[in-house]
Structure formats: structure tokens, C-alpha cells
Amino acid sequence: MAKEKKKKFGKKVAVTAVCGVLCGGLLAAAPAGYRYWKEYKVQKEDNESSEQDDRTPEQAENVGLVQETVIQETKISSVYDVSVVWDNVIPSMVEIDTKTVTEYQFFGRVYEQESQGSGSGIIIAQADELFLVTNHHVVDGATAIQVTFVDGSSAPAKVKGSDAGEDIAVLTVDFSDLKKETLETIRIATVGDSEDLQGGDMVIAIGNAAGGGQSLSVGYVSALDREIEIEGVTMNLIQTDAAINPGNSGGALLNAAGALVGINNAKLVADEVEGIGYAIPISKALSLINRLVNREEISYRQSAKLEFEGQDVTEALSSALSIPMGVYVAAYEDDSALAEAGIPLFSVITEVNGIEVKSTEQLEDTLRYIRGGTTGTLTVQVRIEGVYVPKEYTVTFEARK
């Protein structure tokens, strides 16, 4: 196995985009994309010294590298020059091209077939690296990822973290791979508050539609909190009639002022259906995005594991058998971490260190960023008198040999 390059991740920071209504109702230009760590540190210290932290515990959990825009007291006018929004936002957008290699057998011989895909991404934050957010399905299984910026330059990207259940992925790009001109051109997206959206609000979708480069479409919020099942996973999404086509996945859904309110991820396709697209609400995704951004880089050999026999409790099984969604614990050895923690057989693991898991894939991905031999928590649904009750257990994660 090739020796992995160890990376040191800087302190967690909070990049806050501030909305402002100017003459004519136009949003102030987004902050420049490249800022040095020193500049940020000074700004953060000033903010901490001048503002009193009156957040609730739930609000405090969502603080990380990315934060929502400060909510305005008055409702923003829906009359905007969309061309100005385009000029302000397009430096925050990237095109994503992926390569995937699959193996297949033919008459006993193994062959490799390379396929290509495309999608969109949003420059969401920066620290020691540039951070992009996109959909999990855009980069799932990719062996190579290339991103193209507004100036036409390209750079390789790596997956920092990904969550299949929420269809969110965070990518990183090293500053050393970017040209000076690119650094001077790109911007960090202004993050809005999707909780402020109402049916009928104008929204703008920007993305790499059909892999042909960045394009824009305009529409309205058709519905909020729409429950949609995509590949067996139920999600609550923003519904819009703004055109969202293949390649738009991972792109931005913006409010009329140009602030990010959603991440485009799906389109309903049927002969009798037209103008139904969906986006992940940004306010619900921020907590996950920040967890992915701030994950510690750990080699596979150093990462944690849990040895047991389990099965995914899918939404269909959960509904049919009245069992919570998660990972069902069917069997384990007496010396396993689960046994030592006192976790009962036939219970369901639903969280690891506070991170929700709904499948073995999500469980393994979460353990990939936990160091083996360390102590953490598992939230487990335990059946007591016919009813599943959540209980938290302290567990020492097993180390890989």
C-alpha cells in the first residue's frame, strides 16, 4: 500500500456571509474567494470580542466552517436583476467531471471499463484548503475528480467526506493546484437561510447542465418540505419549477438576492410530468457539511471498526416490522466492542458519536474518520417490552490489525 500523505487541518473557523440590500435591491458582492488564514483569524477575534454568544445549544451545534447569512428583519423584495445575481454568484460555482473504473468478466478474463460523469459544485468555505460542496451521487465511486472554475482553469479534487443518506459530499482542492489568477477570481458563496423560503418565492438554479458548462434557470418555490424517496432513501426537499437537468446535481439553488438556499439534487422524470425539480435545504445541511469539513484525516489502518453481524433496516423493513431505521445487531463475539459495552443483541444502531447512521455503508463511512482504540458513543434503539427505546452506550472502538 502506498504511503499516505499526512495532512494537518487547521482550527475550525466560521465564515459568515452577510446579506445586504443596496439601492435597487441588489445583493452586495460576495466576499473574495481567497483569504489568508491570518486575515481570518483577526476577523474572528474581532467578532468574538464584539458580540455576545446568545445562541441556544441547538444553534451552537451548527457552528462550523460554514454558517447561514444573518437573517434580515424585513422581507427581501423579489424584484432583482438576475444578470447581476449571475455576475455575483458564478465565481462561486464549479463544474465537476468524474472518471469511474468498473471491472467486468468476459470468458474468464477481467476487463476494466472507464466511464465519465459530470455535475456541479459550490465553493462553500476555505481554511488550509478550498472546500466545495456537491451531491454524494455526483462523486460516488469516482476514481478521479476534476473541477473547473469560472476562469476556465481546472484542478484535481479529493473527497473530504460524504454522506449517501443525505446526498451531500464535501471536496477539497489544494491552493497549490490553483493559479494566482484563479485565486483572485473565485469567491465563497453567500449562504442564506432556507427556513425563510415561502411558496411562490423566486429562485435561481445555476449548474453544469448536461455537462455543457454553467447555465442559469429561473423559477419559483413550488412547495417546501416535500417528502421524496430517491433510490430507497426518503428526503425532505424544496420543490421548484426552475429547470434542474442532468449535470445540475450539486449546483446552487439561490434566492432572489443570490444567497444559497439549496443544493440541487433531483428532477422528477415522467412523460406526464414537467417542471418538478428538487433541492436539499441548505439550513438543514449545514450541520452535516461542517462535520464533513472538520473531519480528521486518518489512514485506513488507523481507523476504527466494529465487528458484528448486522443488517440494514431499510425504510421498507422499518415500516413493515415497526423497527427503527439503522443497522440491526444480529450477532457478535463475546470479546467484541459491542459486547464489552453491554449493547444487547437484536438492537439497532442509529448514531455514532452523534452522527446519524441508517445503513452499514454510513456506519463504515463514519468509522473511517474515527481513530481505532479511542472511546466514543453509540446511540442504540433497544427493544424493551415491545417498544424500541433509544439508549446511549460508551464504546471503545476496535483498532484494525
Which one of 162, 194, 215, 249 is the catalytic residue?
249
Dihedral over alpha carbons 86, 87, 88, 89 (to 10 degrees): 40
CA dist list (Å): 164 to 120, 158, 170, 212: 17, 16, 12, 26
167 is catalytic: yes
249 is catalytic: yes
Q: Are 319 and 336 in contact (CB under 8 A)?
A: no
Q: How many CB atoms lie within 10 A of CB 364?
A: 15
Question: Of the listed 167, 193, 201, 312, which one is catalytic?
Answer: 167
Torsions phi, psi for 290 (to 5 deg): -65, -35
Q: Which of 114, 156, 165 is nearest to 137 (CA)?
A: 165
The Cα-based distances of 237 to 201, 268, 279 in angstroms read: 15, 12, 6
Write out the three cell numbers for 163.
454522506
Residue 294 and residue 284: Cα distance in Å, rounded? 17
- How does DSSP assign 105-136, residue by residue? EETTEEEEEEEEEEEEEEEEEESSSEEEEE-H
- β strands within 109-243, DSSP E: 109-126, 130-134, 144-148, 154-156, 158-163, 168-173, 202-207, 215-230, 233-240
Catalytic residue among 137, 162, 201, 222: 137
Residues designated as active site: 137, 167, 249
